[in-house]
A and B are shown apart, each in its own frame.
Chain A
Amino acid sequence: NAGVTQTPKFRVLKTGQSMTLLCAQDMNHEYMYWYRQDPGMGLRLIHYSVGEGTTAKGEVPDGYNVSRLKKQNFLLGLESAAPSQTSVYFCASSYRGDEQFFGPGTRLTVL
């Protein structure tokens, strides 16, 4: 079992560029989450999904979109990247919605 994987591990974007972060899990989990982690701010929820085909907004959804077309994948999109989106992005999944299993993270820099 690979658990939760994230692609890519690192990325540098210019302001205004777009990109998609991919999260995949092989544990048949219903719940999936996208967080961003900034120094001193903890983990802040961007969007989450409680099942295939569903998505919902978290604390900081502005500037991001998500899709969950397949149960095992959760995609995070940035349509027009801004320097304020420089962060480490973590994906997580959960079977029942309690213990969350995190991916290794994606370090994104927006210049």
Chain B
Amino acid sequence: GENVEQHPSTLSVQEGDSAVIKCTYSDSASNYFPWYKQELGKRPQLIIDIRSNVGEKKDQRIAVTLNKTAKHFSLHITETQPEDSAVYFCAASGSGGYQKVTFGTGTKLQVIP
């Protein structure tokens, strides 16, 4: 099955700086890569996703890049704000289709005011 590795496990940045979270996956058939944000005590929520026919996708301060050759994808958050503090999970679909994803182990992001 699919195996997703996520780094770093914790990340502290100053408010206004950028944050980058990286993930690698094992199954070259994966074609869907979502990112979820989970605030403390809350449920995970999708913040951005990318499909394998796209190399980069942006939504305001958030961007995701995908390198299918190297089998890695990254989340970039610019101009970080305290409300960006949360745990972020990447995921990859594997060969079973995009209806079932495998999650990474999460990155706890702390934005220091």
Enumerate chain A interface residues (CB-CB to B < 8 A). 31, 33, 40-45, 48, 50, 58-59, 90, 94, 96-100, 102-105
Is A41's CB under 8 angstroms from B97's CB? no
CB distance from B14 to the nearest CB of A (A): 26
12 example contacts (A-B, Cβ-Cβ < 8 A) are as follows A40-B9, A40-B105, A42-B104, A43-B103, A48-B100, A59-B102, A90-B43, A100-B34, A100-B46, A100-B101, A103-B43, A104-B42
Interface of B is mostly: loop
Enumerate chain B interface residues (CB-CB to A < 8 A). 1, 6, 9, 32, 34, 42-46, 49, 89, 97-106
Is A102's CB under 8 angstroms from B45's CB? yes
CB distance from A103 to the nearest CB of B (A): 6
A105 to B89, CA, bound (A): 16
Is A43's CB under 8 angstroms from B1's CB? no
Which B residue's beta carbon lies closest to that of A97? Answer: B99
Top 8 A-B residue pairs of the complex, sorted by shortest distance between their CB atoms? A97-B99, A102-B43, A42-B105, A43-B103, A42-B103, A99-B46, A102-B44, A42-B106
Task: Using A43-B44, A98-B32, A99-B49 as known contacts, list a sample of 15 further A-B pairs with CB atoms less than 8 Å apart, ordered by residue number in A.
Answer: A40-B9, A42-B103, A45-B102, A48-B100, A59-B1, A90-B43, A97-B97, A97-B98, A97-B99, A97-B100, A98-B34, A99-B46, A100-B34, A100-B101, A104-B43
Across the interface, which residues of B come within 8 angstroms of A31, CB to CB?
99
Question: Would A43 and B89 be within 8 Å (CB), given that A59-B1, A99-B49 are in contact?
Answer: yes
